[in-house]
Chains A and B, each alone.
Chain A
Amino acid sequence: MSDMLLFKDIDEPGLNTLSVYEARGGYASLRKALATTPEQVLEQLEASGLRGRGGAGFQMGKKVSFLPKGQMSKYLVCNADESEPGTFKDRELMQKNPHVLIEGIAIAAYAAGADRSFIYIRGEYVLQADVLDAALVEAREAGYIGDRVLDSEHSLSLVIHRGAGAYICGEETGLLDSLEGKRGNPRLKPPFPANQGLYQGPTLINNVETLSTVPTIIAMGGEQYAKIGVESSTGTKLVSISGHIQRPGNYEIELGIPSREIIYGLAGGPPEGSEIKCWFPGGSSSPVLLPDDLDVPYDFDSMAKAGSMLGSGAIIVVDDSTPIVDLALKVAKFYRHESCGKCTPCREGTNWTVKMLERIDSGEATPMDLDIMASVQDHIIGNCLCVLGDAMAMPIGSMIAKFRAEFEQHIEMARAREEATLVGAAVGVGAATAGSTH
């Protein structure tokens, strides 16, 4: 087990205050970064191999390097709209160590040449936003945020923006529209935010965990950081585990350890007497995996190879007492509710998937409906501005593929139940009619 990087003594009382954070060496990385050039900071980020922790897993250093050079207004936006079902790692980080995020933002903004930054935090996170507000006041007073940061030539403003409850605002362009004060509808890409983002200016968008890792990278050096984890998935990752599990919560793991070690070793496995039926490795948007996949290493590429994705690092464990149709319906209903309605395949596809799953439950479906439902998923994927629809289509498609026999059995049983009720009713009506004619 490697050292804790993000969760080291996370529950130390007062860590949310500047004095304790500084006593632990906080903001030393910012000083170190400001003593070098932005290009040198960028080199460290690229050398670290750090991949985005929000879901897509894109190389952070590359993302920074995509921003155009030269004098212009550039923006940095921290995506703290953590809404992916099963994910709650950023919540714990922001609540307990807000300054590491602010320091990370300051360093990343310096590397990217951004002079305005924003934290878009979901409106439900009231406690965490209050903690950040208080931390920002302290950081401003100490000169870490504001005009001429620590007497350098670099200036940075930071605004904490509270959202109002919409999953789609976790999608980067939906977030930008929402931050501009509109409905959170995703935009057509390209242009990518690096070129035309917030207020049409070049914008760097990163997840809370990604930015919170930046001070560590600067402190230890990019190459040193890259030695943690495995090739192409460097570093540690915060994993949120929930569902049918003995010790739900957040864990910091070195990328590349076997998934079994996380689910059974750290989190204690499913409750006594039950077995894992399936598990989501990266939030509800990731295709489900089976108990056979428990030995797949937990890193970006291995998960992709196993047919799923690491996503936001949220493992949801489902035990064998749960009917797969119920699970699919929960997933589909969520995406139907959260679809912004802009693109037809997603708006209609999520709605019809829910309806088809409800038909299965009410005994109106035939096994052919499974093929139709699978084809609906195929028609959503890749056909919308953003991947919200895909995020339903992938897990639903994987459930149909992996649990087809159970779906068919559910269909048969529901039909038989419905027929029995209909026959029962018909007999009752028949008897009543027969009685009345006499």
Chain B
Amino acid sequence: MTTVPRLPGSTRASGWDEPADLTKDPALIPDPATTDVPAELRKQIEDAMALYPERHSAAIPALHAAQELHGWCSPEAIEQVACVMQVTPAYLDSVASFYDMLEKQPVGRHSVYVCTNISCSLRGADALLATLQEATEGDGDFNLRSFECLGACDLAPMASVDGVYVGPLELSDVPQLLDDTRAGRPVLPEKQLATKLVADPNANSQEFPRHAPEDGKR
């Protein structure tokens, strides 16, 4: 198979330039009798399907669950989801390739999304990303990437570390951010979104304590 060269500067969804292998027959709906699906994953997918009037609606939750287990939406992961949902792998591939949070390539187990949209970049997100890139270079444990607006411009510049929002980040926070993540500790506890009070001075009629940081599991 030859790969179509990619135009420089394009940020289109990954995989758009991978040609279909025309020598292969289209993959059919996997046969439950011959496809091995971990019991836990099967249950998660079946529970998700039960929530909706139409089983296809469970595609994203099911792929999330499979990605959690396999680390990414690998062909094996897609095959297992397809088997439980009784859809073709191609259908799930089309879904997985559309969404930014579903990985179509193997990635590091710790996700660090750095928001580089307008408000964050006005406050130094590009330098933050560069510093993080330098600090994690060659470290296969991290899935570091720039992300479009994460909806936390009040914390700008910020990042989502394994789903936990932290900010505003200084360049000097980078070593601790990475150390906390590696050690499985709550990342930068005092900078987590969960600890922040609303900015509006008229909102609270009295002093309320800041919320305690989350536990370390997320």
Residues of chain A at the chain B interface (Cβ within 8 Å): 1, 4, 7-13, 73, 82-88, 90-92, 95-96, 116, 122-127, 130, 159, 161-167, 178-184, 199, 240-244, 247-252, 266-267, 280, 284, 314, 316, 318, 322, 327, 330-331, 333-334, 336-338, 340-341, 351, 354-355, 358
Contacts and interface: CB of A to CB of B under 8 A. Distances in A.
14 contacts: A7-B198, A7-B203, A11-B203, A11-B204, A11-B208, A13-B209, A91-B151, A116-B53, A161-B61, A165-B99, A181-B57, A243-B123, A248-B199, A250-B200
Main secondary structure of the interface of B (DSSP, over half): loop
B101 A124 contact: yes
A10 B198 contact: yes
B135 to A, nearest CB: 23
A159 to B, nearest CB: 5
| 6 nearest A-B residue pairs (beta carbon) | A249-B199, A242-B153, A165-B100, A164-B99, A181-B59, A181-B56
A167 B148 contact: yes
A174 B60 CA distance: 14
A266 B200 contact: yes
A425 to B, nearest CB: 22
B151 A124 contact: yes
B64 A123 contact: yes
Classify chain B: how many residues form its interface, as a range. Answer: 35 or more
A4 B206 CA distance: 13
B151 A88 contact: yes
B208 to A, nearest CB: 4
Contact of B211 (A13, A83, A164): A13
Interface string B134-178: 000000000000011111111010001001110000000000000
A316 B118 contact: yes
Contact of A124 (B51, B102, B150): B150
B54 interface: yes
A334 B149 contact: yes
A13 B208 CA distance: 7
A12 B58 CA distance: 35
A88 B199 CA distance: 12
Contact of A240 (B53, B153, B209): B153
Determine which residue in B61, B101, B156, B203 has the highest number of CB atoms from chain A within 10 A of its CB, and name it: B203
